[in-house]
């Protein structure tokens, strides 16, 4: 497994190589970063998997559009995210050799789905909450989960779809981590967890604790026992407003 971390929000792109094929998640973001990922790809059929369609996760599609794409069935409903990536590129003068395109989905995941790959069993788990189209992918023999925008060491849960669904998704993640003995986690942003189921479970419990505080009406909710960092207060206030309107 190789993890390529963008300098934009420490966004992770993950490459998992099998005997006969490879799996690339959320290639992003800047052109030189995408070229680095390209250079690392093995000469094998490419499965291009999207954890969700937030704009910072889809910008690399045009560079890898020859791959077989997989994502949640609701990814296609998020096409407005492409304009956000274009606006960011314009604001920061990001020049690309290929125009940004919204990912097509060759294979849509509807519910929990298991596939047999060349040397692993791949289990797709929809985990709505942050967004409606979030999906975690488990490699059962490798004991790895590529989780999307949950369980980051950098941030508490950002809620854009449903706090209740977020809670349910985290509980489901905990269940599957224990059931399959998962010990390695790659979040959408920040540091991965390598060979520590205990740390994965700790992250899940921290995120659950934060969400329970919010849903109980605690505007002074703490995260990991600490006050909300100043640079994330606006996002915390956005969560409070979201929960109050649910």
Q: What is the mean pLDDT of residues 217-222?
A: 86
- How many domains is the chain partitioned into structurally? 1
The string of pLDDT tens digits covering residues 29-55 is 999 999 999 999 999 999 999 999 999
What is the pTM (predicted TM-score) of this model? 0.95
Q: Which domain holds residue 92?
A: 2-245
CA torsion, ordered 196, 200, 203, 205, to nearest 10 deg: -120
CATH classification at residue 146: 3.60.15.10
The string of pLDDT tens digits covering residues 56-114 is 999 999 999 999 999 999 999 999 999 999 999 999 999 999 999 999 999 999 999 99
- pLDDT value at 126 more than 90: yes
pLDDT at 118: 84
């Amino acid at each position: 497994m190789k993890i390529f971390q963008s300098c934009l929000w420490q966004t992770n792109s993950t490459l998992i190589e099998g005997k006969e094929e490879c799996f690339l998640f959320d290639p992003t973001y800047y052109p030189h970063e995408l070229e680095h990922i390209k250079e690392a790809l093995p000469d094998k059929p490419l499965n291009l998997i999207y954890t969700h369609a937030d704009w910072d996760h889809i910008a690399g599609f045009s560079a890898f559009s020859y791959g077989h794409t997989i994502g949640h069935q609701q990814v296609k409903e998020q096409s407005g995210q492409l304009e956000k990536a274009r606006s960011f590129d314009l604001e920061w003068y990001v020049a690309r050799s290929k125009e940004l395109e919204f990912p097509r989905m060759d294979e849509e995941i509807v519910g929990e789905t298991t596939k047999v790959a060349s040397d692993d069993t791949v289990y797709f788990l929809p985990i709505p909450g942050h967004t409606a189209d979030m999906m975690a992918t488990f490699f059962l023999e490798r004991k790895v989960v590529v989780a999307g925008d949950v369980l980051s060491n950098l941030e508490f849960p950002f809620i854009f779809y449903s706090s209740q669904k977020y809670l349910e998704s985290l509980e489901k993640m905990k269940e599957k981590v224990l059931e399959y003995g998962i010990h390695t986690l790659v979040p959408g942003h920040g540091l991965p967890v390598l060979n520590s189921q205990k740390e994965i479970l700790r992250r899940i419990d921290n995120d659950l604790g934060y969400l329970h505080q919010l849903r109980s009406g605690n505007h002074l909710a703490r995260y990991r026992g600490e006050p909300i960092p100043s640079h994330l207060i606006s996002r915390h206030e956005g969560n409070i407003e979201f929960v109050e309107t649910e």
